[in-house]
């Protein structure tokens, strides 16, 4: 902590993207600790706050009635001094394709420690690159938060894609008194694979069907006896204004693990390629029998750090995002994460959480 009482977080460390900022500010609100984040997104081609990050910062400012210095577009340094988390209804209109799920990623842990239920409307992109697709948040993040005793309800009012955005969602969050420790160690065996392959706008339903068939065929090739059912949909014009295509596949195992893999169509969309890439990614997780997928890893770190008791996850090699999340969580909470690499490339991440209580309830 410096002389002015700020904990300084170096945003260029490891991944050097937006995640260090999101985790630092969420923890700042929950712990009531002022933070200064410097060198924000230093490793990105256009460093500093983008629309998504700026809207997230201003949202947390409103949720915590915080004092903020440096909250402007492309700013590379920010001081954030939170007050109590009250909980309310909030609206964020990004007017861009800023990722709605990443704004939710920042606000969700904070609202779990609010004094009353909250509702959060955000407009922007629901399915955009380098961020969880909204279906991933609903079908993979939500069940992975269950062991912590945390939950939310997420409704999509309108799907939105790059470059125009125009998506909108409603997130409802019930506060918790505390987070329980999460155990993600027992893979068991594969029980079923489900998911959704979608198109929207001018992209025809046949692309969704190609994604669906290829993805199902690949899973059945390796696991002929397990159920694999991917739904193919074309969003109506009322649900999505623009062109978009993507797929999310979710695997559930007998040990209670829920793993996801997702892909998004870019300029030229080949449904067979998207279906094959996504099922290939999921099959890799399943063959390795890991309990937490590559993207869920970093998203669970903040919950493990705050929980009461020992959380453990069995995953693949740690991503830079995860190591960044661990670094930020250790700096702000004082907890220690233990990372053990096992033969076969498994990693066991263990953390005795801070045992944070919700002072507002
Ligand atoms: N395909 C995916 N499925 C699920 N989650 C994803 C996927 N791709 C990225 N994520 C998650 O989105 C987050 C991205 O963090 P990151 O810091 O890279 O993004 P960002 O804030 O948009 O910053 P930047 O623009 O600086 O990269 C991470 O939590 C990561 O796990």
How far is ligand 1, taken at its centre, from the CA of residue 53, in Å? 12
pLDDT computed for residue 167 by the predictor: 98
Q: Is residue 44 pLDDT above 90, yes or no?
A: yes
With a 6 A CB cut-off, is 320 part of the ligand 1 pocket?
A: no
Which residues lie across from 339 on neighbouring strands? 349
Q: Is residue 6 pLDDT above 90, yes or no?
A: yes
pLDDT computed for residue 206 by the predictor: 97
Best mutation site among 130, 266, 284, 322 for ligand 1, i.e. most ligand atoms within 8 A of its Cβ?
Answer: 130
Instruction: Quickly list DSSP for 214-239.
Output: HHHHHHHHH-TTSEEEEEEEE--TTT
pLDDT computed for residue 2 by the predictor: 78
With a 6 A CB cut-off, is 18 part of the ligand 1 pocket?
A: yes
Q: Quote the percentage of the chain above a pLDDT of 90.
A: 95
Rounded CA-CA distance 318/349 in Å is 9
pLDDT computed for residue 268 by the predictor: 82
With a 6 A CB cut-off, is 124 part of the ligand 1 pocket?
A: no
With a 6 A CB cut-off, is 318 part of the ligand 1 pocket?
A: no
* Residue whose token pair is 């096992």: 342
pLDDT computed for residue 256 by the predictor: 97
Locate the ligand 1 atom nearest the alpha carbon of residue 101 and give its number.
12
Q: Quote the percentage of the chain above a pLDDT of 70.
A: 100
Which residues lie across from 62 on neighbouring strands? none
Q: Is residue 81 pLDDT above 80, yes or no?
A: yes
* Residue set of the binding site for ATP: 105, 295-299
Rounded CA-CA distance 259/252 in Å is 7
pLDDT class of 287 with cuts at 50, 70, 90? very high
The structure tokens listed for 341 are 């690499």
Domains in the chain, ordered, with CATH?
Answer: 1-84 (3.30.110), 86-176 (3.65.10.20), 178-185+291-361 (3.65.10.10), 190-288 (3.30.360.20)
Give the H or E element holding residue 57.
helix 51-64
Is this prediction's pTM over 0.90? Answer: yes
pLDDT per position as a tens digit, 331-351: 999 999 999 999 888 999 999
Average pLDDT over residues 81-100: 96
How far is ligand 1, taken at its centre, from the CA of residue 101, in Å? 10
Q: Is residue 233 pLDDT above 80, yes or no?
A: yes
pLDDT per position as a tens digit, 244-278: 999 999 999 999 999 999 999 987 889 999 999 99
Rounded CA-CA distance 317/294 in Å is 8
- Cis, bond preceding 163 (omega within 30 deg of 0): yes
How far is ligand 1, taken at its centre, from the CA of residue 358, in Å? 28
pLDDT computed for residue 241 by the predictor: 87
pLDDT per position as a tens digit, 95-149: 999 999 999 999 999 999 999 999 999 999 999 999 999 999 999 999 999 999 9
- Is the confidence metric ipTM above 0.90 for this complex? yes
Q: Is residue 3 pLDDT above 80, yes or no?
A: no
CB 127 within 8 Å of CB 264: yes
pLDDT computed for residue 77 by the predictor: 97
pLDDT class of 1 with cuts at 50, 70, 90? confident
Best mutation site among 15, 41, 57, 132 for ligand 1, i.e. most ligand atoms within 8 A of its Cβ?
Answer: 132
pLDDT computed for residue 349 by the predictor: 98
Question: What integer best gives the mean pLDDT of the chain?
Answer: 97
How far is ligand 1, taken at its centre, from the CA of residue 107, in Å? 15
Q: Is residue 4 pLDDT above 90, yes or no?
A: no
Sign of the four-CA dihedral 192, 100, 87, 31: positive
Q: Is residue 87 pLDDT above 80, yes or no?
A: yes
Q: Could you give the residue numbers annotated as active site?
A: 321
pLDDT class of 175 with cuts at 50, 70, 90? very high
**In sequence order, what are the residues at sequence separation of 6 or more whose Cβ sits closer than 8 angstroms to the Cβ of residue 265?**
199, 203, 207, 244, 245, 246, 274
């Amino acid at each position: 902590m410096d002389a002015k009482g700020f904990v300084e977080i170096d945003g260029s460390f490891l991944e050097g993207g937006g995640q260090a900022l999101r985790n630092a500010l969420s923890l700042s609100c929950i712990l009531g600790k002022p933070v200064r984040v410097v060198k924000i997104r230093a490793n990105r081609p256009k460093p500093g706050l983008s629309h998504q990050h700026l809207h997230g910062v201003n949202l947390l400012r409103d949720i915590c009635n915080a004092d903020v210095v440096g909250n402007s577009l492309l700013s590379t340094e920010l001081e954030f001094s939170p007050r109590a988390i009250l909980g309310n209804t909030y609206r964020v209109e990004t007017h861009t394709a800023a990722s709605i799920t990443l704004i939710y990623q920042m606000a969700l842990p904070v609202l779990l420690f609010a004094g009353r239920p909250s509702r959060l409307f955000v407009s922007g992109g629901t399915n955009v690159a380098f961020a969880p697709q909204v279906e991933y948040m609903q079908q993979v993040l939500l069940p992975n938060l269950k062991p912590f005793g945390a939950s939310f309800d997420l409704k999509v009012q309108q799907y939105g894609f790059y470059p125009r955005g125009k998506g909108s969602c409603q997130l409802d969050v019930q506060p918790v008194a505390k987070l329980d420790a999460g155990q993600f160690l027992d893979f068991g065996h594969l029980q079923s694979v489900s998911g959704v392959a979608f198109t929207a706008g001018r992209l025809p339903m046949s692309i969704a069907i190609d994604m669906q068939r290829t993805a199902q065929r690949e899973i059945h090739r390796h696991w002929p006896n397990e159920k694999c059912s991917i739904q193919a949909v074309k969003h109506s014009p009322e649900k999505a204004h623009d062109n978009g295509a993507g797929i999310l596949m979710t695997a559930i195992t007998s040990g209670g693990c829920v793993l996801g893999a997702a892909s998004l169509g870019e300029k030229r969309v080949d449904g067979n390629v998207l279906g094959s890439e996504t099922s290939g990614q999921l099959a890799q997780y399943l063959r390795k029998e890991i309990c937490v997928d590559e993207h869920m890893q970093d998203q669970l770190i903040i919950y493990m750090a705050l929980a009461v008791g020992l959380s453990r996850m069995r995953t693949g090699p740690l991503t830079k995002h995860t190591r960044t999340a661990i670094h930020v969580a250790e700096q702000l909470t004082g907890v220690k994460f233990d990372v053990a690499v096992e033969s076969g490339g498994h990693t066991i991440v263990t953390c005795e959480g801070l045992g944070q209580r919700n002072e507002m309830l």
